[in-house]
Amino acid sequence: MALAVPMALLDESVSWRDLAIRSIASSIIDAPTVRRHKLSNTEISNQNYVLVRVMLENGVEGYGEAATLGGPRWAEESVESIKSAIDVYLAPVLIGRHAASFEENALRLSKAASRNNAAKAAIEAAMFDAVGKSLGLPVTTLLGGAVRSSFSIIWALASGDAGQEIEEAQAKIERREHRRFKIKIGFAEPSVDIQRLRKIRTALGSDVEIIVDVNQGWSEATAMRWMPAFADLGVSLIEQPLPAAQIEQLGRIAARTSIPIMVDEAVFTSAEIIRAGQAGSGSVISLKLVKSGGLLELKRAAAVAGAVGMELYGGCLLESGIGAAAHLAVFSTLPKLEWGTEQFGPKILANDLVLEGPTFRDFEVHLAQGPGLGIVLDEERIKHMTRTGN
């Protein structure tokens, strides 16, 4: 059996048997947000997660997280289906296996269930966390080593109320937390969305970067009509204006604008990334664990996207400090991350799920420090927010 962790890195006090998986447990967390968060097809005031705990034979526990947005709307998974997939199909195939056999374990998960990417990613993150803690190494080392420890951080404005969003953005700038903003649109008439964008641009000034996310909310004809307004407003990036299946149509839109198009929901697999690249559907890709299905696959997705000429953007699905730490561990090992990241999820929660994790200061998010993912759970808060009866 090929070892995923070089023997030279193994602490002599840690035997290979110590790294065997004793148990995998999952629970559903319902965490209130500080404000409503609107997308083209839903809005939330609570964010839902599945917390995964992987216990090794040495007693070390690792943590992973799967996030969704308002149930099976953004993708097919919900927290209920994720927990069921983990408990019934995925966890049983890993019990007793060596947690550090990351590639073999990923193959076992793939055979146990098709897709279910968020569920698989949460388990893999927990295994990486547990192995890293056992060896006294950060997950970044297990992934090849970090080339950066902090990232330019983007904040999403998504209440739909221009006045509230301007106030929110100005407060972020004053506290030196954020000066790059992604504005969610597509849930109102295009003329109303453009008017809202214009108010925000006027209030924040030309020096503040604005990205727009249509969340698949427009048709090709609507995009052809209204996207020129984005250029007038100095928008730097447009995310997924058309439905995910409309790859060729998105290519036609991309060819008509000088603003880069970012693909998100349209690309989950490497084959989809290649297809989007060949169709010219986007010059930027949003990277997410819930799409790739694991830390290793996320690195592969970044490589494939780079090979077809796409720049990289660190996406998010409003993860807590647990999921954010896993994403940032991967992002830190990528040779390039041209657009930084929007892993702001911990800050949109009324209360984060970790006592220690990624930190936010000076317009950047900083990688969590310490072995594994570098996180310490807030067990009391998690207990309070854990859904019962599941």
Task: Give Cα separations from 44 to 93, 187, 192 (angstroms).
Answer: 34, 13, 21
Contact criterion met (CB below 8 Å) for 241 and 250: yes
Catalytic entry in 184, 291, 299, 347:
184
For 44, list phi and psi in degrees, rounded to 5: -130, 150
Q: Which residues contact 199 (CB under 8 A, 6 or more apart)?
A: 162, 163, 166
- Cα angle: 351, vertex 353, 356; to 5 degrees: 105
Q: What tokens appear for 32 in the block?
A: 């209130």
Give the Cα separation of 251 and 281 in Å (integer). Answer: 4
- If DSSP codes are grouped into helix, strand and coil, which group holds residue 321? helix
Q: Looking up tokens 């690195």, which residue turns up?
A: 299
- Cα angle: 127, vertex 131, 136; to 5 degrees: 145
336 a catalytic residue: no
12 a catalytic residue: no
- Nearest Cα neighbor of 261 from 307, 311, 300 is 311
> Which H or E run contains 111?
helix 102-112
Q: What tokens appear for 373 in the block?
A: 């993912």
Q: Looking up tokens 């420890």, which residue turns up?
A: 149
- If DSSP codes are grouped into helix, strand and coil, which group holds residue 364? strand
Contact criterion met (CB below 8 Å) for 330 and 356: no
Q: Which residues contact 335 (CB under 8 A, 6 or more apart)?
A: 147
Q: Which residues contact 168 (CB under 8 A, 6 or more apart)?
A: 35, 157, 159
Catalytic entry in 124, 272, 319, 342:
342
List, by residue number, the catalytic residues: 184, 342
